Structure 1
């Protein structure tokens, strides 16, 4: 048996569980590190809403609320054994990362599975051999787990389709907003304007490469954008409309990384004309906005979730190369016994940004 943190009906608790068995083309791995993601928090606090949305939109049952669920999908692990038919390309004991999916006839999203397909808040789990990416010796286990949240950010920036003239605004400097800043900085896009109420997160945004960081209670991020996006050369102007003809500013892409009701309307009200808004924040409640704000400004509104396997591999490659410098995102480590308390702590933006679970850590 193994130790695992199990979610039952919105409550987390340590539990003994059977070690899962790898199927054809799969590997059994020992979990070395697993980051706590915002979607893990959502599963615990907004499980029914998340299930209802997945059922209504995609016709899938994301997980069974009546069954024990093992969360965790930001994974670094060590190969322990292979299932039948595996190629065995990597030696037992090799460290790997993987996008959190099992390539079965009925695909499994890891981190939302039961005891037979647990996520990373357990001592062992099963991964698909075809998705394994080796971890170089000089990359620590906890840093390797950042491949997953950086993939989310990379996908969001790709959805923004930014060119060299865009001046981005990042609203919300939680883990995904901060990761978006890191990706934008890596790509040389800027200057970057960022906004958050939390002093510690504003400091982290600056450390990760934001050029102007504001407390929105005191300074409008859109006024800050105007101070750096003004263009003397009309060839740098953003797209023009009759209502805002001659608007003498570079184009804007705004990343919504908060995910609470009312934020989209706030952004529509403040956004420059012809902006593109990329919604990366996962709002679990009904929201509303005035379409006229978007219509009159001819704003593009794009939504995004997750990433492709190629984006996951690209994000990890950037971490390995050192182009993405994101070590500062990790603010705490806990063992399995500390997961429940870490979930509570992550509700306070001044205490932590990214907590990484180390299942082998003694003392919880």
Structure 2
């Protein structure tokens, strides 16, 4: 949650801003939640499958786009928003996502990269230059971000709790980790060591 807050805050979201979140993993879902809390007017999540569509909508997304289903992402985004978004939060960390973010953001917009891509990636700088976008990279969170998230949860925010998809005991951890190697509907598995 703190990583999502940190990136959303770095984007400088102003009231009414349109926000596209690329990726529906825990960071993308947290970024969606905090984009709305920071005043985003319309928030859309785009991901490779519908596995976390319901969670994205619970966390505050207005719409959900499945990438690669017949229509180019940029066209699907413009169709959904009615225009290119002001802000794109790249939360997938997959090669090509920074390029997608730059291509889809509006002229003069902001792209914040929260995704953690560990392989070589590329994009066309001229596209970013032509659009005069701001491109920022986010590194985890600050102590203040963490404290703010703790306060939000302590005040009873219910949406983030939807990310917890399973509770397991220590004995179940090996089998759960093995199951997580394949695509699933899991988001956050909580371990209860004394259960």
TM-score normalized by the length of structure 1: 0.49
Tell me the residue number matched to 1:352.
186
* Cα distance change, pair 222–250 in 1 and its aligned pair in 2 (3 A): closer
C-alpha separation in 2, matches of 1:211 and 1:291: 30
Tell me the residue number matched to 1:302.
136
Q: Which portions of structure 1, spanning 4 or more consecutive aligned residues, are displaced by more than 4 angstroms?
A: 227-230
Secondary structure at the aligned position of 1:305 is classed as coil
Deviation, structure 1 residue 337: 2.8
C-alpha separation in 1, matches of 2:62 and 2:73: 12
Which residue, 319, 326, 329 being the options, matches 2:160? 326
C-alpha separation in 1, matches of 2:37 and 2:13: 13
Which residue, 255, 258, 268 being the options, matches 2:92? 258
- Give the unaligned 5+ runs of structure 2: none
- Residue 1 (structure 2) pairs with residue 162 (structure 1): no
1:169–1:254 CA contact under 8 A, matched in 2: yes
Deviation, structure 1 residue 273: 1.8
* Cα distance change, pair 282–250 in 1 and its aligned pair in 2 (3 A): closer
For this pair of structures, how many residues does the alignment match?
Answer: 194
Secondary structure at the aligned position of 1:326 is classed as helix
TM-score normalized by the length of structure 2: 0.89
C-alpha separation in 2, matches of 1:264 and 1:322: 34
Which residue, 27, 30, 39 being the options, matches 1:176? 27
1:171–1:254 CA contact under 8 A, matched in 2: yes
Q: Where in structure 2 are the equivalents of 1:219-230 lying within 5 Å?
A: 219-227=71-79, 229=81
Deviation, structure 1 residue 217: 1.8
Which structure has more RCO (C-alpha within 8 Å, separation ≥ 6)?
2
Tell me the residue number matched to 2:38.
187
2:85–2:104 CA contact under 8 A, matched in 1: no
